[in-house]
A and B are shown apart, each in its own frame.
Chain A
Amino acid sequence: MTAPGGGALATRGGATVRRMKWSLELSLGNSRSRGDRQSKDGDVMYPVGYSDKPVPDTSVQEADRNLVEKRCWDVALGPLKQIPMNLFIMYMSGNTISIFPIMMVCMMAWRPIQALMSMSATFKLLESSSQQWLQGLVYLIGNLLGSALAVYKCQSMGLLPTHSSDWLAFIEPPQRLEIMGGGMVM
């Protein structure tokens, strides 16, 4: 709302600047210059915050509100819409462990996590919507589903330490309780 006024001020200032870089006025006739400037706009001094341009009617129309709602739903449903695409990529990349599938999986896992981390920013975006909480929830679920998909992909690629064999290297050899020795009679 303050932007148009500021803009006006800037243009005014700019106009002044454009006329001359600087000027020195030795006469005390300050009013003349002011009068000169003011005479252009009128003789009255404007109060602070006065804009001589007409202020547009900012009251939100019913149609715009619908538009905002729609936009917000778009944001909220974004992660969910990506899932079929991800599924397709998942299917295409296969379960072999090589550089491209790994990159895919990393992307798939990283995006939802990133989205979840910037959740507050998204919420701000949805602030204007009346169904803010519902949209937030849908957005969250979408991202969670996305990361679940990534986890599933990792699982099917065998990257998750879910088997006992993945922990085998960490098993310490058991401590022996008895000491035993001997052999053939010498």
Chain B
Amino acid sequence: MAWLVVRLAISVSLFYTASAVFEDQVGKFDWRQQFIGKVRFALFDTHSQASKKLLVATDKNVFASLNSRTGDLFWRHVDKTGPEGHIDALLMYGQDAVVVAGNGRLLRSWETTVGGLKWETVLDTGSFQAAALVGVQDFVKYVAVLKKSAISLHDLSSGSQIWVENLPDSDTVQYQTIYSGGNGLVFVFGVVPNSHIVIVEYKIEDGEIMNKKSVEAAWMSSLESSCTVISSGILLCVDQITQSLYTLLLQSAEQTEMRQIHLQTLDLEVASGFQPVLTSTQPNPAQPPLSEFFLQLSPDHHILLQLKDGLIVPLRDFNPSYLAAFATSGERTVAAVMSPKNDTACSINLFSADTGRRHLDTTIIYHMDPNGGKPNRLYVHAFLKKDDSVGYRVMVQTEDLTLTFLQQPGRVVWMREEALADVVTMEMIDLPFTGTQAELEGEFGKKAAIQDGLLPMVLKRLSSQFILLQAWLAHLWKLFYDARKPRSSVKNEVNIDTLSRDEFNLQKMMVMVTASGKLFGIDSKSGTILWKQYLENIEPNSVFKLIVQRTTAHFPHPPQCTLLIKNKDTGLGNLYVFNPIFGKKSQISVPALPRPVLQTLLLPVIDQDYAKVLLLIDDQYKVTTFPSTKNILQQLQDTASSIFFYLVDSSQGKLSGFRLRKDLSTELIWEVVIPTEVQKIVAVKGKRANEHVHSQGRVMGDRSVLYKYLNPNLLAVITESTDTHHERSFVGIFLIDGVTGRIVHEAVQRKAKGPVHFVHSENWVVYVYWNSKFRRNEFSVLELFEGAELYNSTVFSSLDRPHPPQVLQQSYIFPAPISTLEATLTEKGITSRHLLVGLPSGNILSLPKMFLDPRRPEVVSEQSREENLIPYAPEMPIRDEWFINYNQTVSRVRGIHTAPSGLESTCLVVAYGLDIYQTRVFPSKQFDVLKDDYDYVLISSVLFGLFFATMISKRLAEVKLLNRAWR
């Protein structure tokens, strides 16, 4: 019976919180963009002429097929993250794509049209070295996989293993590459560094070793990229130190050492310090490679060479040239070479591979993005035109991970910004007012206006009114003009000039910082990239912190964002200041940071230009201010005694608090040591600075108030035990006051393991951990209350808090693993809160905070019913209609960013991971907006009807009265 009551109560509460989108709302205010990451392998489907497929494998362990006409995804397979899903090789033959994944653990064959898995084979252990397609008599039948100590041959149609052989002397010889020229043999090349090369010949049928020879090569350290096989079995190597090319006939018994050809004899020289690269091409795996090859002598110097009758002949020298690639269509092989044209453009030309002659009218002009990086990969798709000439398209990948697909004569077919697959941090910035609004704002906003006097003020007013009128007329004209055009051609194109804040501030600028160092400004309504900026020379493991110093609210001053980039290796940081709306670098002088920056602090103190002051604390605990004007320093001197820092050093298990001194040095005021032998600090979170709490307490069933403990200086510190044994591991949570260092509360979750995800907001902390005893995920919620009375209702000072708060805690079972956790945020904090849970399945669950309430009673009482508390149930429900992204799953969701909008009911949500998904959520439904299907026509017709009825009846009544008076 009691259970029935509980279920009834839950279902009633669900009735109020259910918040799924309707079918006709799909795509109305949400969008998703799918990404793949940095391309490592790209192959064009040359199987048929009309094919539009482009197969790519990326460093994000994604294997996908792109539509080469539009750049959209046909299909995408996202493998496990990390080395387990790492794609080692991608080979394609006909309709099949063979992928070696997980450091040679798995061999998979995919059907390329729909992306279905044809077969999968688990390979023997051993680190992967190389894979190659093996053909016999013009027909590709096998795939060979070379591991560190073994080679195996698999059937291409079924994946079954034909044979596996151990490699001889694999403990001393490093086997690195594999080659098969379609003559029934597989060659495996190994090297003993600075000693000799080992070549083993296997018979395809049974894996018998036909021949094994070692060749003296004292100069050789690695085979990869410095060696290649050309022209019916000739091993070609290049060495930078001896400035020579070496050739070796693979199938000759008499040649026991490599033939040296000095580059000087060809009038060539390798640039000092550059490892020369050889590139050859084998158009058909069942045929020997061509005898032409590229030799890269310096980063911008390629040369096309040909081996003819044992002699190496230069065919064409490309100096300067950035990139070169071979492509084959039918029987014809071409070489595409990218050379610089001028400062902003490159030209790509097509050359015949066997002669080096330039094909006429094949130039593609590639315009380099001034805010982008240099091109670093070139993929060429060659095809035969109707007149039997060779046409081609190219895909260029740049340092900033932009994929550009071009066709003649330089038209950009599509572009993908793959840097967005790795968003590190983001902010949402309000858009500025329109020019006219800004004009009005400016009229009254400028300080100078006060000194202007009366007449100039009047003139200014008149001029701004005139501008308003003009804008209105222009708007009317546009409406009229658009109305005449067919509806389909009228498109709300977003560009940076028409960008302006909408009525409810629902459209914002998403400033995204990616790991590759590229910044993006994306319109949150449509997902259009409005600006991008590539920051060069960013180390791959840099740490970013994005700070909004000035919002758009201070009109004549542009908004200002500051990005702190810290190099992990050197510890040194630098600041990049930019305008988040236009993406332009700001001209403001940035302080030099000679010492490693430990942390930053954004003060609510503003300077005369309305920019918030950023404090940067360095490793000597000295503080640098930005901006650092006299005014600021003066203000800081006044407020220094109330500015506190905390620093958490996870490696030493130390939390320390500092107070700012007047001379911008700091003094240590507290220190908490959490011994690293037992547990280690994994995360620390304070509260969000832009969070508002509307209600200071909670109303109890007896109508008294339980006041919330709203300490803005509270930190939640999560620790994990160093002992990972499932019986002894634990997760700890400390609530520490960041000003005084006082431990407000501590809790330990025994038999629990990380990774811990948590949210710290208002007066509560919600965290998720893995319960290793019951093998399930659990949510735990901590809420802090002051009690029935407020200690001090006007000011909050951490230094004057005599009473510890009451702490309530409850835990629940969550039936799914989670990837990330965030809470919704609204303008005034009146709307109820929801937790946004990113699941590994790609769904984002909007979980009402109501379910995570430590006051949920086990026994229902009159009072708890009065309070609308749901009776405690250990299981947390997951409802399908709580998924805010319905079927638009976000792969590998890493973070969720929430931002308030101008409407109290609405919170903007951006989930990012491999994909980016933007939507709006309404935790308490849209209580401040009329519904979409609101019947304006009915309501207004009724209103007007009543109005006219009143008028008419009034008139009639008057007439009647008059008549009666005459009678």
Question: Whole-angstrom distance from the CB of A175 to the nearest CB of chain B?
Answer: 5
Chain A residues in 8 Å Cβ range of B573: 186
Interface residues on B, range: 35 or more
A176 lies within 8 A of B599 (CB)? no
Closest to A171 in B: B696
Q: B795 contacts the other chain (Cβ, under 8 Å)?
A: yes
| Interface residues as binary, A165-186 with B (CB distance below 8 Å gives 1, 0 otherwise) | 1101101111111111111111
A180 lies within 8 A of B794 (CB)? no
A168 lies within 8 A of B601 (CB)? no
| Interface residues as binary, B600-631 with A (CB distance below 8 Å gives 1, 0 otherwise) | 11111000000000010100000000000000
How many Å lie between the Cα of A185 and that of B602 in the bound state? 16
How many Å lie between the Cα of A172 and that of B792 in the bound state? 12
B793 lies within 8 A of A177 (CB)? no
Q: A163 contacts the other chain (Cβ, under 8 Å)?
A: yes
B700 lies within 8 A of A180 (CB)? no
Q: B646 contacts the other chain (Cβ, under 8 Å)?
A: yes
Q: A27 contacts the other chain (Cβ, under 8 Å)?
A: no
Within 8 A of A (CB), among B706-727: 710, 712-713
A165 lies within 8 A of B704 (CB)? yes
Q: A158 contacts the other chain (Cβ, under 8 Å)?
A: yes
A184 lies within 8 A of B797 (CB)? no
Q: Given A169-B695, A174-B793 in contact, is the A186-B598 Cβ separation under 8 Å?
A: yes
B597 lies within 8 A of A179 (CB)? no
Chain A residues in 8 Å Cβ range of B602: 181
B793 lies within 8 A of A171 (CB)? yes
B695 lies within 8 A of A168 (CB)? yes
Q: A118 contacts the other chain (Cβ, under 8 Å)?
A: no
Chain B residues in 8 Å Cβ range of A182: 599, 601, 617, 645-648, 738
How many Å lie between the Cα of A174 and that of B711 in the bound state? 10
Question: Whole-angstrom distance from the CB of A97 to the nearest CB of chain B?
Answer: 13
B598, B639, B795: which contacts A185 (Cβ < 8 A)? B598
Within 8 A of B (CB), among A7-60: none
Chain A residues in 8 Å Cβ range of B705: 163-165, 168
Q: B650 contacts the other chain (Cβ, under 8 Å)?
A: yes
A175 lies within 8 A of B794 (CB)? yes
B545, B598, B694, B712: which contacts A180 (Cβ < 8 A)? B712
Q: B566 contacts the other chain (Cβ, under 8 Å)?
A: yes
Chain B residues in 8 Å Cβ range of A168: 695-697, 699, 705
Chain B residues in 8 Å Cβ range of A186: 543, 545, 564, 566, 573, 597-599
Q: B693 contacts the other chain (Cβ, under 8 Å)?
A: yes
A163 lies within 8 A of B704 (CB)? yes
How many Å lie between the Cα of A151 and that of B597 in the bound state? 65
How many Å lie between the Cα of A163 and that of B566 in the bound state? 54
A183 lies within 8 A of B684 (CB)? yes
Question: Interface size on A (CB < 8 Å)?
Answer: 23
Question: Whole-angstrom distance from the CB of B549 to the nearest CB of chain A?
Answer: 14
B644, B650, B693, B792: which contacts A179 (Cβ < 8 A)? B644
Q: B485 contacts the other chain (Cβ, under 8 Å)?
A: no
A179 lies within 8 A of B599 (CB)? no
A184 lies within 8 A of B684 (CB)? yes
How many Å lie between the Cα of A172 and that of B795 in the bound state? 10
B693 lies within 8 A of A173 (CB)? yes
Chain A residues in 8 Å Cβ range of B944: none
Question: Whole-angstrom distance from the CB of B513 to the nearest CB of chain A?
Answer: 14
A173, A179, A185: which contacts B642 (Cβ < 8 A)? A179
A174 lies within 8 A of B794 (CB)? yes
Q: Given A158-B703, A168-B699 in contact, is the A177-B598 Cβ separation under 8 Å?
A: no
Within 8 A of A (CB), among B99-124: none
A166, A172, A180: which contacts B646 (Cβ < 8 A)? A180
Q: B450 contacts the other chain (Cβ, under 8 Å)?
A: no
Within 8 A of A (CB), among B822-867: none
How many Å lie between the Cα of A110 and that of B748 in the bound state? 60
How many Å lie between the Cα of A169 and that of B790 in the bound state? 14
Chain B residues in 8 Å Cβ range of A184: 599, 647-650, 681, 683-684
| Interface residues as binary, B664-704 with A (CB distance below 8 Å gives 1, 0 otherwise) | 00000000000000000101101000001111110110011
Closest to A177 in B: B797
Closest to A175 in B: B795
B643, B650, B681, B703: which contacts A163 (Cβ < 8 A)? B703
A164 lies within 8 A of B704 (CB)? yes
How many Å lie between the Cα of A185 and that of B644 in the bound state? 15
A178 lies within 8 A of B543 (CB)? no
Q: B739 contacts the other chain (Cβ, under 8 Å)?
A: yes
How many Å lie between the Cα of A49 and that of B390 in the bound state? 134
How many Å lie between the Cα of A180 and that of B545 in the bound state? 17
A176 lies within 8 A of B796 (CB)? yes
Chain A residues in 8 Å Cβ range of B793: 171-172, 174
Q: B798 contacts the other chain (Cβ, under 8 Å)?
A: yes
Q: B799 contacts the other chain (Cβ, under 8 Å)?
A: yes
How many Å lie between the Cα of A183 and that of B639 in the bound state? 21
Question: Whole-angstrom distance from the CB of A162 to the nearest CB of chain B?
Answer: 9
| Interface residues as binary, B777-797 with A (CB distance below 8 Å gives 1, 0 otherwise) | 000000000001010111111
Q: Given A163-B704, A171-B696, A178-B799 in contact, is the A183-B794 Cβ separation under 8 Å?
A: no
B642, B646, B681, B692: which contacts A177 (Cβ < 8 A)? B642
Within 8 A of B (CB), among A55-94: none
Chain B residues in 8 Å Cβ range of A172: 793-794
Q: Given A174-B796, A175-B795, A186-B599 in contact, is the A181-B686 Cβ separation under 8 Å?
A: yes
Question: Whole-angstrom distance from the CB of B647 to the nearest CB of chain A?
Answer: 5
B639 lies within 8 A of A179 (CB)? yes
Chain B residues in 8 Å Cβ range of A181: 599-602, 615, 644-646, 686
Q: Of A166, A171, A175, A178, which is in contact with the most chain B CB atoms at under 10 Å from its CB? A: A178
How many Å lie between the Cα of A185 and that of B545 in the bound state? 12
Chain B residues in 8 Å Cβ range of A178: 642-644, 713, 739, 797-799
B545, B650, B703: which contacts A165 (Cβ < 8 A)? B703
Closest A-B pairs by Cβ, 8 of them: A181-B601, A182-B646, A163-B703, A165-B699, A177-B797, A174-B796, A180-B644, A180-B713
Footprint of A on B, CB under 8 Å? 543, 545, 564, 566, 573, 597-604, 615, 617, 639, 642-650, 681, 683-684, 686, 692-697, 699-700, 703-705, 710, 712-713, 738-739, 788, 790, 792-799
Footprint of B on A, CB under 8 Å? 158, 163-166, 168-169, 171-186
Question: What are 22 A-B pairs at a CB distance below 8 A?
Answer: A163-B703, A165-B699, A165-B703, A168-B695, A169-B694, A171-B696, A173-B710, A174-B792, A176-B712, A178-B642, A178-B644, A178-B739, A178-B797, A179-B601, A180-B643, A180-B644, A181-B645, A182-B599, A183-B646, A184-B681, A185-B648, A185-B650
Q: In the complex, given contacts A163-B704, A164-B704, A185-B598, what are 17 additional A-B residue pairs having Cβ atoms less than 8 angstroms apart?
A: A164-B705, A168-B695, A172-B794, A173-B693, A174-B795, A176-B713, A178-B713, A178-B798, A181-B600, A181-B686, A184-B599, A184-B648, A184-B650, A184-B684, A186-B543, A186-B545, A186-B597
